[in-house]
Chains A and B, each alone.
Chain A
Amino acid sequence: MKIDALRLSAFGPFADKTIDFSGNAHGLHIVFGVNEAGKSTALRAILALLYGFGHKVEDAWLHDYSKLEVGGALLLPDDRRLNLTRFKRRKNDLIDDDKGEPYKQTELDAVLGAMSRRAFEHAFGISHISLRQGVDSVLAAGGELGHALFAATSGLNILKQVMSSLDNQQDQLFKPRAQKAAINAGISELDKLHKELRNVSASQNQWKQMKTSLDKLLDREIEVDDRLQVLSSEISLLSRHRDALKHVTRQSQLQIDLDALGPVPDLADDFAQRRVETQTTIKAAAQAEQDLNHELEQIDEKLKTLTFDDQIIAHTKEIEELAKDVGVHTTAIADCKRLRAEIHRHNESAQKDMSLLRDGLTLEGIEAIRLSTTEKAKIQRLGAKYAKLEESLYIAGKAARAAQNNMAKARVSIDKLEQPKDTKALEDCLERTTEQGKIEQRLSYADTEFAAAREQAEVDLSALGLWSGDLRTLEELVIPTDETMRSFETDLSQADQTLADIEKEGARLEKQLRDNQKTLSELNRSGDLPSLEDLKSHRALRERGWRSVRAVWLEKGEIDQGFMEELPQGLDLAGAYEKAVYIADDTSDRLRTDAEAVTRAQALKSVIQDIGERLAANREGKRIQRECRAVLLDGWRQLWEPLGMVPLTPRDMATWASRVGEIKRKAAECRAKKMTAAKLRTDIDRMSFDIAGRLKDLSVSVPEKASYAALFELAKRTKRGDDQLCKSRQDLEVRIAAYEREIDDNLQRKDQADQDIGTWAQEWIQATNKLGLDDSAKPEDANDFVLALDQVFGELEKAKEKQQRISGMQYNYEGYTRRVKDALDKLSPGRKPLEATEAVVKLNDQLTKDKAQYKDRKLFEEQRGRKRSTLSQIKQDLAAQREKLRLLCEDAQTEKPDQLPEIEKQASVKSRLLSELNTVNERLAELASGQELKTFVEQIKAQDPDELVAKLERLEDEKKGLYQEQKQLVENIALQKNELETIGGDSIAAGIAETAEGLRSKIQSDVEHYIKLKLSSIVLANAIERYRQINQSPVLEAASGYFKTITGGVFEGLKADYDEKGEPVIKAFRPDGTPLMVQEMSDGSRDQLFLALRLGGLDKYVSINGPMPFIVDDVLVHFDDDRSAAAFNAMGKLAENTQIIFFTHHQHLVELAKTTLADKILKVHNF
């Protein structure tokens, strides 16, 4: 396959950019572009065309994502040309341009060697980075042969890294003696879990043993419990007996004491208490009676000293109310004095103001001129009205005068203004001109366009080449038609193709010839193989020799000189004959021993002859085809002779013709533009004349040779001046009319004001008449008079008001005095008359004193009542207590209260003895525990106390021991139960088992992955070795040749050898045969080695599968010029059989390639 064209329709920074790789040979195509020119983009575009855009596109920044488009033409091995376009879409993204239908990717994949995108990229692409990586990988593998071949042929430059990574991943999962590797660690953990599981799993036997042990403990616990019960009962009985012993003894003693006491009355427990309480109460009551009688006497004495006036007390409320008003009336009397002084001051002030008003006015007469509110308001209103009337009169007069002055000025101005002219005609003319727009600009633009078009056409013409002449002549040229040219193109192309095919066939035959000759020469390497003809001729020579020997020996004839000349010089006849015999025998032997080789050589010779004949026929065919082509070319040249031209190829001439057509079209355009300019110029002249005429009609002086623009501007200015004049005149006339109207209005307003003032004067006199003012009094005078009058009346009003208050107070005091008098008459008639307030004060003092006496008397009377009542109660209690004491004496069987304490003592002793006896009996009854008391006491008395205690101690000891055992048993049982419960149904083991299962599944998964990795490692290593075995010879052979070329003969080639471990490795060898391991080579030589291997691998691929483009991305950046030139040579060799597209941004590499490679191999595409 060969890429014939790459079309970057919309990709990266490109739009409709095409790189044409077409041509007869495959060739080395250098695509040169400066850095950042889009070289990498073009590389990606090739892959996008072949394999699609993929889901991540980095080239969709200029063109919309959905509009990406890359096209191209692929030349297939069967010479079909496949025109394809790739779009960015999910379906049908690859279109066959010729059919306009989708093209199947699978079909394209077949063309591309059934490789995935990445495999293709690796196999048929190389960059300086991947070259370096490849070298590193080969070096890392120690130059191992299989690895080097595999890596170089596949382009998988990281083979060694992948293998190491596989090994590392395996090691991370499992290593026989590792601890941290995932599987090792997992298994350890699993072991731990299993141990733990065994530990926590309760076995059935363990459970049974524990259960039996527990059951035994439980049984013993029951036994101990039973014995303890028996012991407790025995101990209890003996303890009762022991406890009863002391009570029985005490019981006997008490009985003896009671008998000794004799008859004593039984007194109640509280008898002594009651007797003491009664006697104490009687004594206290007698004392209280005596005290009360004394106190009552004292109270009676006090009551006699307390006296008061009943009347006064009876009228307490009345007296207190009068006393309350004393303060008010005392203040009122003081206020009256002050008010009288103020009334005097007001009257004096009014008198003073009045004297200022007018002479002769008195306080009595003043009321005659008091104004009502209405009258006062009227005087104020008339005063204000007068001021307004006066102002109106003044304003009207002033405005009328101003208007008259303005009118006079306007009239003067209008008289000074010029009379306007009639500019209608000029206006029409300007309107017509304006309709034409900016005609001068249009003219200028048309001129420029014309000049530019003419210049472009002439430039195109001068750049046309092949033909010379002016534009007009060119327009008249008769050029062969497109059909004719296409026909010639097809014919010539076919002729070229046929010739190329013949040449290709010739090359193939020559190669075959060379190969066969080489094989033949190898067969002959050990010396020329003899043929049957050789045997015949050698035998004939031997015969001839024999004949000569016979002639000399038997017939004495001459030596056959011809025979002698056939054999080496210096031999005599016998020697010559021997030699001839030897040669014939040797030839015969060799024919027999090398029969197979001889046959092959024979066959090869026949093939070589056949090829020779076919080559001759091919050369003849080539000659004829060349002649045919020459005839065609001649016809083509004759076609162009009338034009005086030597034509290029039909395709070039078609391009030339289309360019001529383009120039002709431009020439026509040029003419049209020129005419447009001429028309515009005529229009300008006509309009200039028109405007000048109109201006002259208006007597405007027009300068000679004025331009159209100047005239147009002058006309516009003239028209504007006239318009301004008309407008000024109109304005002045309007203003004069307005002034006239203003003067009339103001004169009317002045007359009206005069009339209003007359009417006012009458009303004024009438309003001010009451005040007694003279006629000449102004509104201001009247106002002042009214204000002064108001002040007089104000003072008089204040005096009057204060007089009224004095009268009110006097009236109140008189009423009060009457009330006081009435009271005094009732309470103390004949008392010395006093001022009311003073009398009330004295009366109140009396009241206060009597009230105190009255209150004390009441208190003592109450006390006396209470004490009398208490005394009566005490007397009753005393009688009752005495009766109580008598009854107590009766209980004690005595009449003398004094004997009571002694009787009480004896009764108490008896009671205590009886009580103790009772207690002893009760305790004994308790200890008898239901047994009859008497019998029980008898039993106790019959016991030996010492024996009893000893037995009891024995039993107690036994019980204590059993308690200890019981406690131990309880603890043990609880412990055992706990232990049993721990295996009583928990799920710890189940949990651990579950964890172990989880871990096992994880290890299982790791194991599977480990095996996959291990398999992968082994498979890859085996595959590499297999590949080596199969491909070692052809690839290494080809690579060896390339290596020699690339190193410029510094190395003779490459060969397979073994290292010290016996592993097959690749070695380079020098012309003297010195071998070098990869590790021993310089960096540069290693780069060259890997490139040679890549080229060798491709060479082998191409020879088997046919050509496939090799995409090289600046692979020589680390090579110096000599090595680069050598590399170009090597690539040029490969490029004879397959296309190489070499991207670079280094100009010197382009130049280097041009000097190194033949034109038919090298094609440079600037980008």
Chain B
Amino acid sequence: MATFVHAADIHLDSPLKGLFPYEGAPSIDEIRGATRQALDNLINFILTEQVPLLLIAGDLYDGDWHDFNTGLYFASQMRRLGEVGVRVAIVRGNHDAANKMTKTLPMPENVKVFKSRKPETWLLDDLGIAIHGQSYANQEVTDNLAASYPDSVDGMLNIGLLHCLISGAKGHLSYAPCTTDELASKGYDYWALGHVHNYSVLRQQPCIVYSGCSQGRHIKETGSKGCVMVEADNTALKTEFVALDVLRWVEVSADITDAESIEQAATIFGNELAVAMAGQDGRPCCVRAVFKGRCAIHGRLCSDPMTLTATIRAVAAEVSSNKAWIEKVRVQTGPAIDLEKLAQSDTPQGELLRYLNELTANPQSLALDLTALKAKLAGSGVQIPQDAMNQLLQDARDLLLTALSDGQSEQEK
């Protein structure tokens, strides 16, 4: 019986995005170098289970990552596998093709990195496995690589190793595009795919699988991440997803329609968070809190993000036993009062709302000069969210209405 592990999109040493240390946050040590820890988990799993073959379907590193330490670390881990006879088959994907490091990195002998010029077949006679693969020559490979993959080898378990986008998948760059039918027509037993970061079995016969990434790195990569363990006997293939991640990204929504204070909103969120954390096997989680519903405190939430965030962080620390980071607090609530009616009223507030409505239709008319800010942010990677102008205007509206109303009440007290 042949066994192997299929992993992809390791993005080794790629930093987690959105984790800003704050007072009372969980210990950073536990999640530091999460992608490395996930790789360690992968290696340890292979050694423990005595799996003889590891497939990596591209994107081992980020394209813009230049620290050679990362490559050396990876090589050292491959050496560990080599010491017990584990073979490793790697194709380069769009990210690591662009990285020079991959071309000069000395890899131990047990590692086979497929060439990019044309597809190759690596025969492992002792295991009865033939692996077909081709690396990306550069970042933007838009040809269908699978089309020119070799024919299957008779009497062996044929595996296709490919970094590609199956046509129709959304939210990913269309590299080496192909269809499952095309892949199935090759007559291979298993297609180990990379590029899409969510685990998914696209077809059972033959098995076409995205293993997903081994560690989520930002809020768009929610849920469990890891590799696929494949066991093949003469009749069938059995796949099993194995979680490797050390930190999970979770989005927790709370409907706070009935909340009358930030504290009440936080309590409702805490209840939802407790439910969400229960399903994460005790792992630390990076949580995005999302508030929904039309509520009386909508303006307060918009105008005082600091208090809101601090309160949510405190509740999260308590509910999760300090296992949850609050990545961001997103307010998607709406005001309880009917702004449309207020906008019709012959009052200054009505005038303000009418003006804002006009601006929403024509935001360019507002002379918002952000030149100085842009200059300051240049090259920092921080973006000015200009495409979300309407949302910003809406937030500004709530901020203003609350500031005027609350400020007045505070003064009168």
Chain A residues in contact with chain B, CB under 8 A?
55, 106, 109-110, 113-116, 118-119, 122-123, 127, 129-130, 133, 150, 153-159, 161-162, 165-166, 174, 176, 183-184, 187, 190-191, 200-204, 206-208, 983-991, 993-1005, 1007-1016, 1018-1020, 1022-1024, 1026-1027, 1030, 1101, 1104-1105
Interface residues of B in 371-392 (CB under 8 A from A): 372-373, 375-377, 380-385, 392
Contact A987 B15, beta carbon cutoff 8 Å = no
Residue of A nearest to B74 (CB): A985
CB-contact partner of B396 in A162, A998, A1019, under 8 A: A1019
A-B contact pairs, 24 of them (CB 8 A): A115-B349, A130-B412, A154-B348, A161-B407, A166-B403, A183-B376, A984-B72, A985-B70, A986-B69, A989-B70, A994-B33, A995-B21, A996-B15, A997-B18, A1001-B19, A1003-B380, A1004-B382, A1004-B383, A1010-B373, A1011-B368, A1011-B384, A1012-B395, A1019-B397, A1101-B347
Q: How far, in whole Å, are A109 and B72 apart by their CA atoms in the complex?
A: 70
B349 proximity list for chain A (CB < 8 A): 115, 119, 154
**B18 to nearest A CB, angstroms?**
4
Among all A-B residue pairs, the 7 with the closest Cβ atoms: A985-B73, A114-B341, A990-B13, A154-B348, A994-B15, A989-B67, A998-B20
Asked whether any CB of chain A lies closer than 8 Å to the CB of B411, the reply is yes
Using CB atoms, name the residue of chain B closest to A151.
B348
Partner of B346, one of A55, A119, A183, A1104: A1104
Q: Is there a chain A Cβ closer than 8 Å to B203's Cβ? A: no
Chain B residue at minimal CB-CB distance from A999: B20
Whether B399 lies near A1016 (C-beta < 8 A) is yes
Chain B residues whose CB sits within 8 angstroms of the CB of A991 once the complex forms: 32-33
Find out whether the CB atom of B409 lies under 8 angstroms from the CB atom of A1016.
no
State in angstroms the CA–CA spacing of A1010 and B382 once bound together.
13
B36: Cβ under 8 A from any A Cβ: yes
Which residues of A are found within 8 Å of B66, using beta-carbon distances? 201, 203-204
Q: Which of B75, B101, B260, B373 is the most central at the interface, judged by chain A CB atoms within 10 Å of its CB?
A: B373
Asked if A110 and B67 sit within 8 Å, CB to CB, the answer is no
- Which chain B residue has the least Cβ–Cβ distance from A90? B258
Binding site for A on B (CB under 8 A): 13-21, 32-33, 35-36, 66-70, 72-76, 100-101, 104, 260, 302, 305, 327-328, 337-338, 341-342, 344-352, 355-356, 359, 366-368, 370, 372-373, 375-377, 380-385, 392-393, 395-397, 399-400, 403-405, 407-409, 411-412
CA gap between A61 and B372 in the complex, in Å = 56
| B17 surroundings in chain A (CB, below 8 A) | 997, 1000-1001
Assess whether A1008 is in contact with B373, with CB atoms less than 8 Å apart.
no
Rounded to whole angstroms, the CA-CA distance of A1101 and B349 in the bound complex is 13
Judge whether A990 and B15 touch: CB under 8 Å.
yes
Q: Identify the closest chain A residue to B99 (Cβ).
A: A204
Partner of B337 from the list A113, A116, A986, A988 (CB cut-off 8 Å) is A116
User: Residue on B with the closest CB to A980?
Assistant: B72
The answer to whether B405 touches A119, judged by C-beta atoms less than 8 angstroms apart, is yes
Out of B68, B100, B366, name the residue touching A1018 (CB < 8 Å): B366
Also in contact, A1018 and B367, with CB within 8 A (given A119-B347, A997-B17, A1004-B383): yes
Q: Give the chain A neighbours of B346 by CB distance below 8 A.
A: 113, 1101, 1104-1105
Chain B residues with CB under 8 Å of A995's CB are 21
**Are B368's CB and A158's CB within 8 A?**
no
Q: How far is the CB of A986 from chain B (nearest CB, A)?
A: 5
A165 and B376 contact, Cβ closer than 8 Å, known pairs A113-B347, A989-B67: no
Chain A residues with CB under 8 Å of B355's CB are 1019, 1022-1023, 1026
Report which of A106, A159, A985, A997 forms a contact with B72, defined as CB distance below 8 A. Answer: A985
CB distance from A185 to the nearest CB of B (A): 11
Max chain B C-beta neighbours (<10 A), residue from A55, A115, A123: A115
Q: Give chain B residues whose Cβ lies under 8 Å from the Cβ of A130.
A: 411-412
- 11 extra interchain contacts, Cβ-Cβ under 8 A, other than A201-B66, A985-B75, A1019-B366? A116-B342, A116-B405, A119-B347, A127-B412, A987-B73, A989-B69, A990-B35, A1001-B20, A1008-B392, A1016-B403, A1101-B346
Q: Which residues of B contact A989 (CB under 8 A)?
A: 13, 67, 69-70
Q: With the chains together, A466 CA to B408 CA distance in Å?
A: 54
B13 lies within 8 A of A987 (CB)? yes
* Cβ contacts under 8 Å, B350 to chain A: 114
Contacts of A994 in B (CB 8 A): 15-16, 19, 32-33
CB contacts (< 8 Å) of B399 on chain A: these are: 1012-1013, 1016
Residue of B nearest to A56 (CB): B260
A1007 with B21, Cβ < 8 A, contacts A133-B411, A1016-B399 known: no
Decide yes or no: A115 and B352 within 8 Å by CB, A998-B20, A1007-B373 being known contacts. no
- Cβ 8 A contact of B407, one of A127, A158, A1015: A158
- In angstroms, how far is the closest chain B Cβ from the Cβ of A570? 60
* Complex Cα gap A561–B409 (Å): 81
Instruction: Determine the residue in chain B with the shortest Cβ distance to A211.
Output: B106
**Closest A-chain residue to B12, C-beta based?**
A990
Q: Is the CB of A1012 within 8 A of B396?
A: yes
A809 nearest CB across to chain B (Å): 101
* Cβ contacts under 8 Å, B74 to chain A: 985
Which residues on the B side are within 8 Å of A208 (C-beta)? 104
B residues near A110, Cβ cutoff 8 Å: 341
In the assembled complex, the Cα of A93 lies from the Cα of B349 at a distance in Å of: 27
Pick the residue among A156, A190, A207 that contacts B68 (CB under 8 A): A207
Q: Complex formed: what's the CA distance from A351 to B79 in Å?
A: 132
C-alpha spacing A645/B349, complex, angstroms:
58
CA–CA, A105 and B33, complex, Å: 56
Contact B68 A1007 (CB under 8 A): no
Partner of B69, one of A984, A1007, A1030: A984
Whole-angstrom CA separation of A1165 from B249 in the bound complex: 65
- Once the chains are docked, how many angstroms separate the CA of A115 from the CA of B101? 64
